[in-house]
A and B are shown apart, each in its own frame.
Chain A
Amino acid sequence: MTGWALLTVGVAAVLSVPFVAAPYYALLMLPFMAYAVVLLGLNLLFGYTGLVSFGHALFVGLGAYTGAVLTTHTSVRSMEVILVAAALVGAAVAAPVGLLCVRHVKIYFGMLTLAFGMVFYTFLLKFYRLTGGDEGMRILRPSLLGQSLEAMPKTDYLVVPYYYYAFAVLAVLTIAMWRIVHSPFGLCLRAVRDNPAKAEALGLGVTRYRWYSFVISAVYAAVGGALLGPPIGNVDPTLAYWTHSGNIVFMTLLGGFAHFFGPVLGAFVFIFLQDSVMSVVPYWRLVFGAILAILVIFAPGGLMGLLARARPRAALRR
């Protein structure tokens, strides 16, 4: 029950942000929601299937660039079309890439994903006619549900209509992911993670399940990337760089990969902590590197793991 209460409070808080908080915070919530979508997907692969991808930024970049290419090179402005296109492009790229990557596990899987991520990064950097090279591309303002909102000032557009639009997308995808991990399919993924030999003996195609997980997580990353595009306004190749992949894995670990909502919490804490650290000192990497090191050494379960550890103790005290 406390879980549901916390979730309700969290959702109410997120919904009220545009009305109660300064627009600045509402604007910070946009990347949070986009990364929450990315991380829900990544955690299907990392937390539930046990594969650590060091190239997931490829799909984030793919989604963001899909939006940019559609709005600048074609007359498409509809956000719905962009999201669907990003999902399709993500799946189309992830299907063959995943087929090759899931043949390996552990460090070799990590290295393959990293290599594919760098291939895409180099492609974005060098084929500037299509991608704008290192300067990237602008994303023109998408219309939402058929409503062209060109006349609105940029902040008003992002803080109210785009905010709730992104929230709705996040909500739908969260429910979908909840259904996925709590279905028999989700159980199969966990069996593949915990004991691949036994899963294979029980008749599960281990490689096939890893591949499904890879493609679904890539689709989430691409949709998250497409959501990230309009708030940042300009997409550039660093979105697909390997350090960005590392940061995404970091966010998942920060929140806790063993819990369904861990990655969402991780994205939230990462974005807001990065903002507050950067308002004091420019060296956020030093602070975050230290946090990551402490997490890995002392609390590999992340924030959710710490909360779970703290809760029974609190109950005992009472």
Chain B
Amino acid sequence: MVPLNHYLILSAILFAIGTAGVFVRRNLITILLSVEIMLNAVNLTFVAFGRALGSADGQIIVFFVMTVAAAEAAVGLAIVIALFRHRESLNPESFVSLKW
């Protein structure tokens, strides 16, 4: 059986990929996708720990995380559409009106 540590390391790698994506990419949609990668990495940690502790709580938290991810995706994409209407661009550097 694969030990718990391996699941945690896999999850850490996925989370790091998501973090790098948020900082490296210059496209609002790809940044939102990177956030989804990070949420999924955390979900994997929850399920692995829940399995290691023999309780159902880990899976229930994953259920809530998925709901929050769905809400986040819906609102985030609505904001992206509204921003795209204003500037015809998805580059976050074109939305700097509030920056001084």
The answer to whether A binds B is no
**A-side interface residues toward B, CB under 8 Å?**
none
